[in-house]
Amino acid sequence: MSSPVLLLGNGAIARGLLEAGCEVLTAYPGTPSTEVLEEFDRQRAALRVPAFTEWSVNEKVALEVALAASLTGKRAATAMKQVGLNVASDTLLSAAYTGVVGGLVVVACDDPGPHSSQTEQDTRLFALFAKVPVLEPSSPREARDMAREAFELSERHRLPVILRPTTRVCHARQPVVPGPLRQVRPRPRFTRDPARWAATPALRRVLHAQLERKLDAVRAEFEASPWNGDDPRDGAMGIVASGVAAAVARDLLRDAGRDVPLLRIGTPHPLPVGLVSRFVARHERVLVLEEPDAAIELQIPDRTRVRGRLTGDVPREGELTPEVVAGILGLSAAGGTGGAVPVAPPADPGPGPRLCPGCGHRAALFAIRKALPSAIFCGDIGCYTLGVNQRALDTCVVMGASIGLATGFWHAHRVGGGGAGSDGGREVPIVAVIGDSTFFHAGIPPLLDAVVGGARILVLVLDNATVAMTGGQPTPAAAGASIEAIVRGLGVCFVETHDPYAVEGMVEAARRARDFTKRPDGGVAVLVARRPCALLAPPTEKVPVEVDPGACDGCDHCLRFCECPGLVKDEASGKVLVDHARCTDCGMCVPMCPLGAIRPRAAPVAPVGPVGPVGPIGTGAP
Amino acid sequence: MSRTSPPAAATAEIVLLGLGGTGVTFASRVLAEAAMAEGREAFTAETHGMSQRGGAVEAHVRIGPWESPLVRPGWADAALVLEAGRIPAARRLLRPGGLCVADAPAQPEGVLGCDASAEARALGVPRSANLVLLGFAARALHGLLPRPDTLLRAIARLSPPESADANRRAFLRGMELAP
């Protein structure tokens, strides 16, 4: 037997995919799912296992690429965060009807909390809607096992299968004993069957009937599945729990010396209702612990004795941390000693994230706001969402929504009367701010809509040549895709590209772009702010700066609108100082001081302050 | 290194706090790998994503037969704090009698301070302050953490080649500083 390896949950999932002989893995990066593909690539390189992997343009494309591989008989998987499944949903629902050939596994990572997402949506509820089976691991070790077995389940029933871990599985580490690799590598063979793969609505009804029978068969299998740990005892109280919440409950009860019958569910959809109903019938009261929503509770046919998220006995929102579960179970807050310890006050969340020193986004956001101070700024998903700290963003919805919202704002102002983009006669510039990867992912259709509909908006594309937020995955530009060429191809006539470090140049370009949107022959204007991510390509042309204490009056303009970790307030003098340990000498802050108090200095200074949070993510100390 | 550690505690719950980029995750991996090398179970929880952009990050390391990764507030045996501003947050996680070491120039009440950042800079390895503190903790919290020799081997295994030496020196310096 191999010796255990300490694996990140996402690494354990990758290991399971490899052990199952998965030959195609596609993904779009998103916390907490990103490392599934990265770990798959790292491990398969070490094992010399051939496979195709790609960072797809978006999750829908990712699922389609994997689906086609399945139709040729190969085992394929796709990995995404939960909101990515929203994007891929159209394809998923149809694929449930048509079915699959080779095993097809969708790894969709939920984020109770939420820690890094716009919603706390529950993929298991999505699976109810999509009529797709779900396996729900409670630890990295189980995630590996389920990732491997999910292909067998998928092929037995000819259905896509969702593997649904949560953040505390994805980003936990646990020793995992590697298992053997499946050596089967089927030759790709697509068998034509238009009644299935090209089914028209009349035939879809037949496929729907088949799907319902498949789900009945899966449910019957789940009634006796080893993933569900039954507890045959009866009593006043029982617990039905799944995922990390089940593991947390078991740890807490063991620590407290309490023994409560617990039915652990690893197959939340379709729920083995026979198994669960028998457990419920053995107890006077049953508590359901699950994350992030009430997918199991909702499927229990008779909920008279059942308490959970739906009844409010479990908080309706938020992560089921040990603290929360202990409260629900009535366990004392005493720490280890059993003595009376006051309940700790809520955690101080600590400092929030900020754009890194040297980040080109900071300069671009400062410039667009300076050029168009009265504009409505529609933001998007990425590092630059932090521009909200710089008062440079007014909205943030989902991937690509900046351009759709900007278009809507323009039309809404126009339909209200008073002319294009007006607000009671006052001209309101409308700006969409979107990153490069987000533009490729979901920005192209709304930009076409803006052009076709005649919306006079300004679109600022922040191009740092990477998916920075999730650790620096490549964008389509790495393979030659050109934002400018795409934009021109969509019919945009004003396209300018600038280095955001040249702040004044960006300000002037933004004003020109705004003028273009107002011209009779004008239209949508696109500005591309191009500067590589400072973490991947730190600025080479050093502009060391200093603050002239005689000129700085402590107005905090730079702290509020530049918001660079390299600028700090000196509490004693009330003036701003440069923290040379964090400053990257990018020099962008020089034009950001209205008093000219931040100025270039002659020579670089050796770092003297504390070491700042400026490393590449995910590595800590290098 | 010559000192013999007492037998390890049956279980240990350790929390690490800092800001994104201070090396919280790396130090937690070292602890877990070292615990494994000593034949013990380990379970960690990490912070990924947007918080790593300089925001507050936390890692939990549970050594022992746990099924879940998070340390319950008020139950941690030890806290390693890589940014002094997070000491109050660490106190909330510690059990009564739990021990706290922190990268701090002074000695805040109830905390074993070690000016790890200054020491790392003096060594010429400013990014390895986390390992100065880990070395300090390996001595100051002996019996609770894995042994220094297994920690050193884990550091050697997990460090990228270009920083392996810096990390090793930082750890050894931290051990020297411990009371």
B114 touching chain A per CB within 8 A: no
Express as a percent the part of chain A with pLDDT over 70. 92
Range with the lowest mean pLDDT among A83-87, A120-124, A570-574? A570-574
- The strand pair at A235-242 and A24-27 is best described as unpaired
Please tell me what DSSP assigns to residue A598: E
| Interchain pair A620, B73: CB under 8 A | no
| Closest Cα in chain A, distance from residue B65 (Å) | 9
Q: Which of A35, A323, A621 lies closest to B163 in CB terms?
A: A621
pLDDT band (50, 70, 90) for residue A613 = very low
For residue A272, give both structure tokens. 């083995």
Please report how many Cα atoms fall inside a 13 Å half-sphere around the Cα of residue A224, on the Cβ side. Answer: 3
B167 touching chain A per CB within 8 A: yes
B20 touching chain A per CB within 8 A: yes
Nearest CA in chain B to A173: B44
For residue B4, give both structure tokens. 């013999």
B56 touching chain A per CB within 8 A: yes
Sort A201 into a burial class: Cβ within 10 Å, 0-12 / 13-18 / 19+.
exposed
Mean pLDDT of chain A: 92
Decide if pLDDT at A365 tops 80: yes
**Element at B157 (helix H, strand E):** helix B148-158
Q: What are phi and psi of B76, to 5 degrees?
A: -70, 140
Q: How far apart are CA A385 and CA A379, in angstroms?
A: 6
Are B53 and A386 in contact by the 8 Å Cβ rule? The answer is yes
Q: Which of B20, B69, B92 lies closest to A172 in CB terms?
A: B69
| Interchain pair A31, B117: CB under 8 A | no
Q: How far apart are CA A593 and CA A578, in angstroms?
A: 13
Q: Residue B60: which of B19, B27, B88 has the closest Cα?
A: B27
Nearest CA in chain B to A337: B96
DSSP track, B70-128? PPPTT-EEEEEESSGGGHHHHHHHEEEEEEEEEE-SS--TT-EEE-HHHHHHHTT-GGG
Q: What are phi and psi of B9, to 5 degrees?
A: -60, 155
- What does the pLDDT read at residue B179? 86
Decide if pLDDT at A605 tops 60: no
Residues of A in contact with B11 (CB under 8 A): none
Q: Residue A580: which of A589, A571, A591 has the closest Cα?
A: A589
Instruction: Read off the pTM.
Output: 0.93
Per the rule left: phi > 0, alpha: psi between -120 and 50, beta: everything else, A454 is: left
B126 touching chain A per CB within 8 A: yes
CA A89 vs CA A126, A366, A458: distances in Å: 9, 37, 30
- What does the pLDDT read at residue A333? 59
Decide if pLDDT at A551 tops 80: yes
Mean pLDDT of chain B: 91
| Interchain pair B43, A173: CB under 8 A | yes
Q: Which residues pair with A174 in a beta bridge?
A: A7
- What does the pLDDT read at residue A186? 94
Are A372 and A429 in contact by the 8 Å Cβ rule? The answer is yes
pLDDT band (50, 70, 90) for residue A342 = very low
DSSP track, A43-60? HHHHHT---EEEE-SSHH
Residues of A in contact with B130 (CB under 8 A): 620-621
Decide if pLDDT at B48 tops 90: no
pLDDT digits (tens, 9 = 90+) for A380-392: 999 999 999 888 9
- Scan residues 57-96 of B and list those with Cβ closer than 8 Å to A: 66-75, 77, 85-86, 88-89, 92, 94-96
Residues of B in contact with A171 (CB under 8 A): 45-48
Apex A446 CA angle, A440 and A452, nearest 5: 125
Nearest CA in chain A to B165: A622
Decide if pLDDT at A422 tops 70: no
Residues of B in contact with A472 (CB under 8 A): none
Nearest CA in chain A to B127: A621
Q: Residue A107: which of A195, A185, A31, A13 has the closest Cα?
A: A13
Mean pLDDT of A295-312: 97
pLDDT digits (tens, 9 = 90+) for B122-160: 999 999 999 999 999 999 998 899 999 999 999 999 999
Give CA A403 to chain center in angstroms: 20
Decide if pLDDT at B4 tops 80: no
Please list, in sequence order, all residues whose beta carbon lies within 8 angstroms of the beta carbon of residue A30, skipping any fewer than 6 positions away: A80, A81, A83, A84, A109, A470
B145 touching chain A per CB within 8 A: no
Residues of A in contact with B17 (CB under 8 A): 350
Residues of A in contact with B29 (CB under 8 A): 6, 173
Please report how many Cα atoms fall inside a 13 Å half-sphere around the Cα of residue A483, on the Cβ side. Answer: 30
Residues of A in contact with B42 (CB under 8 A): 6, 173-175
B127 touching chain A per CB within 8 A: yes
Residue spans of alpha helices (H) in A48-193:
59-71, 82-98, 123-130, 140-157, 167-170
Nearest CA in chain B to A250: B67
Q: How far apart are CA A107 and CA A163, in angstroms?
A: 5
- What does the pLDDT read at residue B170? 98
Nearest CA in chain B to A352: B55
- What does the pLDDT read at residue A1? 59
Q: Which of B55, B74, B126 lies closest to A344 in CB terms?
A: B74
pLDDT digits (tens, 9 = 90+) for A109-118: 999 999 999 9
pLDDT digits (tens, 9 = 90+) for A65-112: 999 999 999 999 999 999 999 999 999 999 999 999 999 999 999 999
CA A421 vs CA A365, A374, A397, B67: distances in Å: 21, 12, 21, 57
Mean pLDDT of B61-71: 96
**Element at B15 (helix H, strand E):** strand B12-19
For residue A129, give both structure tokens. 């809607």
Q: How far apart are CA B60 and CA B77, in angstroms?
A: 11
- What does the pLDDT read at residue A426? 61
| Interchain pair B21, A617: CB under 8 A | yes
What size, in residues, is chain A? 622
| Interchain pair A31, B49: CB under 8 A | yes
| Interchain pair B56, A349: CB under 8 A | yes
Express as a percent the part of chain B with pLDDT over 90. 83
pLDDT digits (tens, 9 = 90+) for A477-535: 999 999 999 999 999 999 999 999 999 999 999 999 999 999 999 999 999 999 999 99
SS3 content of chain B, % helix, strand, coil (to 5): 45, 25, 35
Q: Which of B29, B89, B95 lies closest to A336 in CB terms?
A: B95
Q: Which of A347, A354, A622 lies closest to B92 in CB terms?
A: A347
- What does the pLDDT read at residue B50? 66
| Interchain pair B26, A617: CB under 8 A | no
Cis amide linkage into residue A261, ω under 30° from 0: no
Are A261 and A136 in contact by the 8 Å Cβ rule? The answer is no
| Interchain pair B19, A351: CB under 8 A | yes
Residues of B in contact with A622 (CB under 8 A): 127, 159-160, 162-163
Q: Which residues pair with A239 in a beta bridge?
A: A262, A287
Decide if pLDDT at A345 tops 90: no
| Interchain pair B71, A322: CB under 8 A | yes
| Closest Cα in chain A, distance from residue B142 (Å) | 19
Q: Which of B42, B89, B94 lies closest to A348 in CB terms?
A: B89
| Interchain pair B167, A621: CB under 8 A | yes
Are A17 and A25 in contact by the 8 Å Cβ rule? The answer is yes
| Closest Cα in chain A, distance from residue B117 (Å) | 7
pLDDT band (50, 70, 90) for residue A344 = low
For residue A88, give both structure tokens. 């891929």
Q: How far apart are CA A354 and CA A561, in angstroms?
A: 12
pLDDT band (50, 70, 90) for residue A602 = confident
Residues of B in contact with A8 (CB under 8 A): 46
